[in-house]
Each structure stands twice: as structure tokens, then as C-alpha cells.
């Protein structure tokens, strides 16, 4: 397949791996919550079809039982009595009204079932997505994930609301009409079935040619959405480097790929219905000719049929061809929906983040010199360690000591990015990581958070192997300010409160003051109630960074990770924020990543990384004396 930088080529297209299994799983999802609704819908379909059958069968009675006798009566000089005919018509009208009511009820119920299923499915997808590890989002384009929520779910909506019900209705209609036709005329039924066989062969051939392209269409649509999202997010970069024309060319390639897969998918699907409709017309004509012979030629015995039977049968012939056309038309829609369902289930089948930890973080207080758990927020934290063997509970104060012992790590097992990492951070120390881009600084903080698990070695937090600590509690103990600031479409107050949802307005304002953000917030039109737009597009980069620092401050974490926390702030603002950060870091173990080495001079230990290995460590003065890599970075001198 063509990628963003590749050319279009017609490689073998993927197919839905197991359509039967996918459909069964989807049906189980619907039946789980809407079984009673679907049973009622099926009853409505049966009533609707029964009403239609009764109306068509009445045509025979109307002609043979009423019209022909009345014509004969009039021709013989008598007077026609229309009273029985009126009652018969009223009876049929009641059947039609019942069918209309059933159709209305079926439509209303299916709207509820369809939208309810889509709501449940979107919730299930989102809930599962929130359990996935960071690795999943690092390895899957975000636009492709968005395509699952939009395009793939929408194809399912069409299938559930239209295709599935149409197929059920058509099957019931086909069976009912077939029985009615057999009752009317076996010979004409055989002629009709012969033409149906021809239609099924045509349907199988055309549908087989188009079905394999529908999954490719969904996949290509996801790629195109992903590319559009990238371009929207990176418009400043695109315009800065005059990359507009190249972006257009790359989009055209993806769009061309989508055009070809969609064209091939719909080319055969769109001719399927008219071809079958014309075959249905041929079937009607043949039955009319054969039926005319059977109704007019004398001496054919039991094969003879009445005029009313012929007219009624021809109506059934149309009724028999129509649902087959409808099924063939819906077949490709179902295949496309199953392709979308497969992508949805692929996401739902992704393994959730594994957490076997059993040590939790709790609020603590000292009573009679002994550490105990409390529901109150005391500012004192403890690790609650329930021993697996004995069930004994032990409380250990959270101090912030961290040890990484001979750690090796790679995002894939065959390519290590960290080698033999040894780090010893005492409670309250400030540990700084410096080094060139790609040296492994951010990777180390990802390991401390257990966004990824190490291949070898040990990481201990307050003497506890971090694999034993529940991930949510481990991460709750670490306040993080990332280089890339993520703000949400909400007020500034709520964005800061994101650090701790139960924080009061006063605590939020205090955190903003600590980050020196209070002054610029109050100058905004609505102050703390100002709505943030498009990830903070109405704020400067420095202002967004200060809000991220305030968010970490309101969380009041026992330990901090600052990943280039002041990288986007001007020198004047940096001085203000650094002063606030020093207050925030006081008494907390802090891990700092910074390119501006002036911000880490007062660190207790500076660790210099290169190509995933620690090459130097020490204080600022000690490292300058060594005149090694840190000295080069700090002074800008070449080796």
C-alpha cells in the first residue's frame, strides 16, 4: 500500500479475517442489552410481512371471488351486490393498517437500539483505551485511532439500523412469499426459483469482487485522517519551512490510494442492484408468459390456473425478487461494516496495561509514635504494604528515595536504548539529567513512572520494587511537568485542578501564585474562568507552561519529575518560575531534565548521559573540574 511517501500500487488487499466470528461477536454485543427489543422488532417484521402477504393473496380472491362473478351476473342481466366486496376490502385495509403500525413500531425501536448500541460501543472503546499502555499510543497514529470512533462506528450504525433489519425482513419475506407461491402454482414457482438461482450466482460473483476492497477502504480512510490530524497540529511547522506544496503532494497520494480502494469497493457494489433488478424483470416476464399459457390454454388439467391466481402470483414474483435484490445490496454494506467492526474489536482486544502491584499509597498520621492510615489529607504519605503470605499490613513512610540498579531497557527487545543505568537518589535530593537529544533522559523518567517496564535490573522506590507498587499510586506520588504541555478545552481553573480534582478554588489560586501564573490569569477577560481553546492556543507557550507547573503544584506530590519544565519560557519569566519551582521542590525528591544547564547548577547530583549510558556524575563544581562532557556542554567548548 502507498504510504505518505510512497507511490500507489495495486498490492493484494486485506480481507476481513473472520466475518462469521466478527458478526457473531457484534450480535452478542447487541443482544447483551437489547435482546427484548430485538425480539419485539422481529415480531413487528413478521406482522408487517404477514399483512403484506394477506393483501397480495386478496388479489386472487378479489378477481376470482368478486369481480369475475359480478361481471358474469351483470352480463346475465342481474344486479351486482357490492356489500360483500366492501367488507372484504375493509378487512384487508385492517391488515394493512396493522402492518403500518408494526413497521412504525419497528422503526422507532430500532432507532433506540442502534443509537444505544453506538453509545455503549463508544463508551466501551473509550474505557478500554484509557486502560491501554503508553506504548500503544506511541505506536499507533492518533488519527487512525480517531477513525475507529468516527468512520468505523458509523459503518456499524448503518448496518445495525438498516442492513441487519433489512436482511431479517427480506429472509422472512422470501420464506413467506415462497410458501404462498407454492400454494398458488408449483410450475410458476419452479420458474421463479430458476431465475433466483441465476441472481444468486451473479450476486456471489460481484459481491466477492467488491468485498475484499472494503477493509482496504476503511484502512486507507484511517491513514488519511491520521495525516490530516498531523498537518492540522503541525501547521506552524509546515508554514515555517514552506512545506505546503510537499504536504499537498503527500496528501494527494493518500487520497489517491483511498480513491482506488473506494472505487474498487463500490464499483461492483453499485452495479449489483440494477443487474439483479433487470434479472427480476426477466423473471417477471417469463412467469407472465408461462402463467398466461397456463390460464388460457384448455386441456392442461391440474396445471391450469385462474386469472386471479396469475395476477396474485405475478405480484408475489416481484415481492420475491425485491428482497433478494435488497439482500444483495445490503451484503456489501455488511462487509464494509464488518471491516469496521474488525478494527474496533482489534482495539478492544489490545492488552490492557498490566498492573500486579499490591503496595498502595495512603494518607498517614502518627499516633503514639506509630504510623497509621487516615482518610484525612495530612500532607504525610505512607506506603501500605500488605504481605502476600501472611496478610500482615505494614506502613512505610514515603520519603522519595529512588534506586535504579543496573537497569537495561529497550522499546523493543532487540534494540536496547539504556545500558547499565545506576542511580541513587536520597530523600529530598535534586537529581538532574543532562545530555544530548536522544541520550535517554526522558526514557529514564518514563521508567520511573512505569510507562514502560525494564528488561533487566531493578528499580526501587523507598526500598520497594516498583513492580510491587500499584501503578496509579506510584504515579500519584510523582508530580510531572512535561516539555509538551497538554491543556484541555475547559476553564483555566479546571485545567489547574486537573492535578487534584478535589482541590478547592483557594488551593488552585495558591498553586497558580506559586507558579507565578496568578498575575497573567487575572488579566484575562474572565480570569480563572477563561475558557482555554485548542490546547491553549489563546495563551503563549510560557503561559501554558506555567499552568502546567501550577497543575503539578496543586497536586502537592511527594516527588517531582520536571522534563524541560522551563524550556519554552523566556529568560525573565524563567527567573520567576525557577524561584517558584525552588519552593515547590523544597523537601521533595526531584528529577530534572534540562537543556539549560544554568537551571541545574544547584542540583545535588548531575547525571550525564550519552547513547543510553551514564558517562559522568557529580555536582556542578565536580563535573566542571573533570573537564569532560558536562564541561563541554556547559562552556560550549569543543573536545
Please state the rounded mean pLDDT for residues 426-455.
Answer: 87
- The DSSP code sequence of 430-490 is EEEEEESTTSSHHHHHHHHTTSS--SEEEEEETTEEGGGB-HHHHHHTEEEE-SS----SS
pLDDT of residue 26: 86
The reply to whether 593 and 472 lie within a common domain is yes
Most confident segment among 321-330, 336-345, 482-491: 336-345
Contact predicate 294/188, CB 8 Å: yes
Residue 101 pLDDT level (bands cut at 50, 70, 90): very high
pLDDT band at 406 (very low <50, low <70, confident <90, very high): very high
Query: What was the pLDDT predicted at 408?
Result: 93
Residue 213 lies in domain: 19-33+111-348
Q: Which three cell numbers stand for residue 57?
A: 393473496
In a domain, 534, yes or no: yes
pLDDT in the model for residue 569: 60
pLDDT at residue 105, rounded to an integer: 92
Mean pLDDT of 91-109: 88
Number of structural domains in the chain:
3
Give me the residues paired with residue 403 across strands. Answer: 424, 460
- On whether both 194 and 283 belong to a single domain, the answer is yes
Given a cut of 70, is residue 348 above it in pLDDT?
Answer: yes
- State residue 565's pLDDT score: 59
| Same domain? 238 vs 292 | yes
Asked if 563 and 432 sit in the same domain, the reply is yes
User: What is the Cα–Cα distance from 206 to 198, expressed in whole angstroms?
Assistant: 13
Task: Verify that 378 and 463 share a domain, yes or no.
Answer: no
Examine the domain organization and report whether 419 and 384 are in the same domain: no
In a domain, 441, yes or no: yes
Please compute the mean of the pLDDT values over residues 232-238 and round it to a whole number. Answer: 72
Domain membership of residue 106 (yes or no) is no
pLDDT of residue 607: 92
Distances, alpha carbon 510 to alpha carbons 529, 581, 587, in Å = 16, 14, 18
Global pTM reads 0.70
In a domain, 603, yes or no: yes
How many CA atoms does the CB half-sphere of 146 hold within 13 Å?
Answer: 12
My answer on whether 567 and 620 are in the same domain is yes
In this prediction, residue 198 has a pLDDT band, given cuts at 50, 70 and 90, of confident
Q: Is 265 in the same domain as 411? A: no
| CA-closest candidate to residue 315, choices 46, 58, 45 | 58
**Res 535: pLDDT:** 64
Is residue 419 domain-shared with residue 323, that is, in the same domain? no
Residue 180: per-residue pLDDT:
85
Confidence at residue 211, expressed as pLDDT on a 0 to 100 scale: 63
Identify whether 461 is part of a domain: yes
- The answer to whether residue 538 is domain-embedded is yes
Where residue 299 falls (left for φ over 0; alpha for ψ -120 to 50; beta otherwise) is left
Residue 415 lies in a domain: yes
Instruction: Answer whether residue 286 shows pLDDT above 80.
Output: yes
Q: Are residues 313 and 377 in the same domain?
A: no
Same domain, 388 and 418: no
Q: Are residues 342 and 196 in the same domain?
A: yes
Considering the domain boundaries, does residue 7 fall inside one?
no
Does residue 572 carry a pLDDT above 90? no
pLDDT at 5 over 60: no
Q: Using the predicted structure, report yes or no on whether residue 582 has a pLDDT greater than 90.
A: no
% pLDDT > 90, the chain: 13
d(CA 158, CA 115): 10
Amino acid at each position: 500500500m502507498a504510504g505518505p511517501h510512497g507511490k500507489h500500487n495495486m498490492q493484494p488487499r486485506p480481507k476481513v479475517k473472520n466475518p462469521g466470528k466478527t458478526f457473531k461477536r457484534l450480535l452478542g454485543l447487541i443482544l447483551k442489552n437489547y435482546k427484548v427489543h430485538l425480539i419485539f422488532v422481529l415480531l413487528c417484521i413478521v406482522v408487517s410481512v404477514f399483512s403484506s402477504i394477506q393483501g397480495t393473496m386478496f388479489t386472487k380472491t378479489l378477481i376470482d371471488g368478486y369481480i369475475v362473478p359480478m361481471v358474469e351476473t351483470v352480463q346475465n342481466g342481474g344486479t351486482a351486490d357490492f356489500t360483500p366486496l366492501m367488507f372484504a376490502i375493509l378487512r384487508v385495509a385492517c391488515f394493512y393498517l396493522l402492518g403500518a403500525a408494526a413497521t412504525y413500531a419497528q422503526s422507532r425501536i430500532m432507532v433506540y437500539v442502534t443509537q444505544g448500541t453506538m453509545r455503549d460501543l463508544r463508551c466501551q472503546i473509550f474505557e478500554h483505551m484509557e486502560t491501554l499502555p503508553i506504548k500503544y499510543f506511541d505506536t499507533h497514529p492518533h488519527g487512525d485511532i480517531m477513525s475507529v470512533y468516527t468512520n468505523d462506528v458509523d459503518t456499524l450504525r448503518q448496518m445495525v439500523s438498516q442492513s441487519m433489519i433489512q436482511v431479517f425482513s427480506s429472509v422472512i419475506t422470501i420464506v413467506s412469499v415462497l410458501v404462498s407461491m407454492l400454494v398458488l402454482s408449483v410450475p410458476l414457482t419452479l420458474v421463479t426459483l430458476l431465475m433466483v438461482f441465476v441472481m444468486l450466482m451473479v450476486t456471489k460473483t460481484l459481491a466477492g469482487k467488491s468485498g475484499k476492497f472494503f477493509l482496504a477502504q476503511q484502512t486507507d480512510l484511517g491513514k488519511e485522517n491520521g495525516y490530516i490530524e498531523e498537518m492540522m497540529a503541525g501547521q506552524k511547522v509546515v508554514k515555517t519551512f514552506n512545506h505546503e506544496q510537499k504536504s499537498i503532494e503527500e496528501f494527494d497520494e493518500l487520497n489517491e490510494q483511498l480513491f482506488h480502494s473506494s472505487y474498487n469497493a463500490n464499483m461492483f457494489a453499485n452495479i449489483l442492484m440494477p443487474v439483479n433488478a433487470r434479472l427480476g424483470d426477466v423473471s417477471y416476464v417469463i412467469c407472465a408468459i408461462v402463467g398466461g399459457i397456463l390460464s388460457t390454454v384448455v386441456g392442461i388439467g391440474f396445471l391450469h390456473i385462474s386469472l386471479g391466481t396469475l395476477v396474485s402470483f405475478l405480484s408475489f414474483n416481484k415481492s420475491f425478487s425485491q428482497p433478494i435484490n435488497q439482500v444483495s445490496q445490503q451484503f456489501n454494506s455488511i462487509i464494509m461494516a464488518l471491516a469496521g467492526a474488525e478494527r474496533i474489536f482489534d482495539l478492544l482486544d489490545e492488552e490492557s496495561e498490566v498492573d500486579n502491584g499490591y503496595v498502595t499509597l495512603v494518607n498517614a498520621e502518627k499516633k503514639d509514635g506509630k504510623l497509621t492510615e487516615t482518610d484525612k489529607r495530612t500532607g504525610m504519605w505512607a506506603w501500605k504494604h500488605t504481605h502476600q503470605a501472611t496478610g500482615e499490613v505494614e506502613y512505610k513512610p514515603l520519603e522519595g528515595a529512588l534506586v535504579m540498579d543496573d537497569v537495561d531497557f529497550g522499546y523493543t527487545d532487540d534494540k536496547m536504548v539504556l545500558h547499565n543505568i545506576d542511580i541513587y537518589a536520597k530523600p529530598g535530593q535534586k537529581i538532574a539529567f543532562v545530555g544530548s537529544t536522544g541520550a535517554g533522559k526522558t526514557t529514564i523518567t518514563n521508567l520511573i513512572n512505569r510507562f514502560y517496564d525494564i528488561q533487566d535490573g531493578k528499580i526501587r522506590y523507598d526500598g520497594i520494587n516498583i513492580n510491587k507498587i500499584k501503578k496509579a499510586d506510584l504515579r500519584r506520588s510523582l508530580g510531572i511537568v512535561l516539555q509538551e504541555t497538554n491543556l484541555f478545552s475547559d476553564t483555566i481553573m479546571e485545567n489547574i485542578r486537573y492535578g487534584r480534582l478535589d482541590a478547592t478554588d483557594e488551593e488552585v489560586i495558591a498553586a497558580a501564585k506559586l507558579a507565578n501564573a496568578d498575575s497573567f490569569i487575572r488579566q484575562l477577560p474572565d480570569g480563572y474562568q477563561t475558557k482555554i481553546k485548542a490546547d491553549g492556543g489563546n495563551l503563549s507557550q510560557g503561559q501554558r507552561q506555567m499552568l502546567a507547573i501550577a497543575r503539578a503544584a496543586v497536586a502537592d506530590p511527594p516527588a517531582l519529575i520536571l522534563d524541560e519544565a522551563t524550556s519554552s519560557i523566556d529568560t525573565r519569566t524563567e527567573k520567576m518560575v525557577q524561584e517558584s519551582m525552588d519552593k515547590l521542590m523544597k523537601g521533595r525528591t526531584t528529577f530534572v531534565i534540562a537543556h539549560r544547564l544554568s537551571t541545574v547548577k544547584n542540583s545535588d547530583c548531575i547525571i550525564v548521559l550519552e547513547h543510553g549510558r551514564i558517562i559522568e556524575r557529580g555536582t556542578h563544581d565536580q563535573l566542571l573540574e573533570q573537564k569532560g562532557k558536562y564541561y563541554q556542554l556547559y562552556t560550549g567548548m569543543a573536545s
